[in-house]
Amino acid sequence: MKKIFAANWKLFKSPKETREFFAQWSEAFKGSKNEVVFFPSAMSLEAASTSIQKINAGYDLSFGVQNAYFQAQGAFTGENSAAVVKELGGKYVLIGHSERRQLFAEKNELLADKVAFTQGLGLVPMLCIGETLQEREAGQTKSVLKTQLTAGLAKADKVKTLVVAYEPVWAIGTGKVATPEQVQETHKDVFEILSTLGFTAPILYGGSVKPDNAAGLIQIPHVDGFLVGGASLEVPSFQKICSAI
């Protein structure tokens, strides 16, 4: 199965910096069967779209938005429209990143609407799930993930494409990567929960993925790619991660 390497740029990179990044992005992956995806900040989406269109990639190179509302337009001040992402040639909507859940109080029910709306537009939702350190230490990881998946996918179409990103909250931006054993066990659990719910989806791992741990993590069963924050901001480190397999 192809692997998906996704870059979450959070609130980094202006349009100018985005163009500079893609000017450096080499064609090293020509012919690759894997996919590379960029999630720039909303205000740099058009710069990413234009830059990506100029690259004659020769492999699956795409982009998406880090968050979008479940309406295409209307009186929703400050929100992003997935319909505009589609117009710009984007493919994905990142939904339920732990920073959205924690800092912006996004709940599973809202995320379910976003997943369904994204699929309805013909875009691909990348639903993020993950437990806090407290939940892991209390032995609640599997039940937390089950709740997030069951509620987040409550309105999803089982036939349409979906990607899931497992990101332990305690490993995001902390430099603390989950151990290979934790990744293996949890990805197996996520795979089983998805199967029980009737979904098949690539499962990405996210949480302090770096060039030096990517090659080991990508070999783990049910790890179908990565969602990378910090290490995706510089061309050399993200290209090394994309070369992990």
Active site members: 97, 167
Give the nearest distance from C-beta 232 to ligand PEP in angstroms. 7
The reply on whether position 96 binds ligand PEP by CB under 6 A is: no
Per residue in 206-236, is it b (16+ CB within 10 Å) or e — as a string? Answer: bbbbebebbeebbebebbbbbbbbbbbbeee
**Which span sits near ligand PEP by CB under 6 A: 30-38, 65-73, 104-112, 225-233?**
225-233
Stretch near ligand PEP under the rule CB under 6 A, chosen from 29-37, 46-54, 114-122, 227-235: 227-235
Binding residues among 193-222 for ligand PEP as defined by CB under 6 A: 206-209
Q: Which is nearer to ligand PEP, 101 or 222 (CB)?
A: 101
Distance CA 40, CA 170 (A): 23
Structure tokens at 156: 């999803």
What's the closest the beta carbon of residue 166 comes to ligand PEP, in angstroms? Answer: 10
What is the spatial distance between Cα 112 and Cα 137, in angstroms, rounded to a whole number?
27
Q: Is 131 in the site for ligand PEP (CB under 6 A)?
A: no
- Kindly list the distances between the CA atom of residue 50 and the CA atoms of 20, 62, 91, 126, 214, in Å, as whole numbers in the listed order: 12, 11, 14, 22, 29
Binding residue for ligand PEP (CB under 6 A) from 183, 194, 223, 227?
Answer: 227
CA–CA distances in Å: residue 49 to residues 123, 197, 207: 15, 34, 26
Phi-psi region of 24 (alpha: psi -120 to 50; beta: other; left: phi over 0): alpha
Least distance from C-beta 128 to ligand PEP, angstroms? 7
Give the span between the Cα atoms of 75 and 81, in whole angstroms: 12
Name which of residues 156 to 195 contact ligand PEP (CB under 6 A): 167, 172-173
228 binds ligand PEP (CB under 6 A): yes
Chain contacts with ligand PEP (rule: CB under 6 A): 8, 167, 172-173, 206-209, 227-231
